Amino acid sequence: MILKAILRKEDKISLDGGIIFLLIFLFFLLNLFSFTSMGPYYGLNQNGILIDRVFFENLFDGEIRFNFSGRGDYRTRFDEERIFDEEEIEEFHLTHSFGDITINTWDEDYVKLELSVLSENDDEEFVLSSKNDLFDEDFDDGVLRIQSNTRKYLEPRTVHSFRVNYQVYLPENADIRISHEFGNIDVDGAEGEVDITNRHGNVRLDNTYGPIGISNRFGDISVSDIRDGARIENRHGNITITASEEIKENLEIENEFGNIRLSILDDQEGSYLLETTFGKIDHRLALDSVERMNEVKVSGTIIREHPMIRISNRHGNIRIR
């Protein structure tokens, strides 16, 4: 700690004005970074202070405001539903911020969106005006694009938080493209290609049978029943992959500051390359292992060279079971 110029006079302690300012500033920072919801979301901390702007994004370009009462005059909730019955929806694209996304597939040939909105605000009339403007839509050549307008309704000073959760139902063979930040993503039953980019949230895929691409930051990734290969990348979070059947296409996993766990069949064929720096590799495979300084490398081929299974990690462990 930086504590200087502490003077004692007649058994009283006096501090330099600059030091007092520094102490107050440090106290402010400690409170700011104690937010319980600064995992995937923003929200109330232990002291009831609400941050209603993305603090770590555009720190110097944006504007940060606090509501020291903990919430606005109104706590507004409402739900909206939209159905898109255009012919042959082959791809679904969603760009969103602030809220969770849950995607389920079904045997219908149309897309249904169920939106749940929660806002803490001082102007409920303005928030309710968003009902018909929660997103922009576009359909062209078999591709349905949804662009969320959540940030638009976070701009006024009278809106302290504005969160929209998406529940999506779409044809099981449709390709899925998601670009998202500050929320979790769950996809279940997709048979088409899945491509996800996320920040500050978890990503979970279940029963996915098509090619997978995931890029995430500050959250965990979990994929079950992987079959058709994947390219998975993460930073500051764990990765868990489960394959109940043989993996037939290339699997590439890359992580930093988190652990990787892969569960595969005992007789999974392929060419393996496992590497970690500042971590350990735990496996049961008949492969060659080399350790040098802070690096561990495991490589080799089981039966045949295809598929390629490449796993790379930094500051984390790799475990294969």
Domain ranges of the chain: 7-67, 212-321
pLDDT tens digits along 206-220: 988 889 999 999 999
pLDDT of the residue at 187 = 96
Q: Is 284 left (phi over 0), alpha (psi -120 to 50) or beta?
A: alpha
Cα-flanking dihedrals φ and ψ of residue 118, to 5°? -135, 125
The segments of the chain whose pLDDT lies below 70 read 1-21, 23, 25-71
Stated pTM of the model: 0.77
pLDDT tens digits along 224-246: 988 788 999 999 999 999 988 88
DSSP assignment letter at 31: H
CA distance 313 to 321: 17
Burial of 305 (0-12, 13-18, 19+ CB in 10 A): exposed
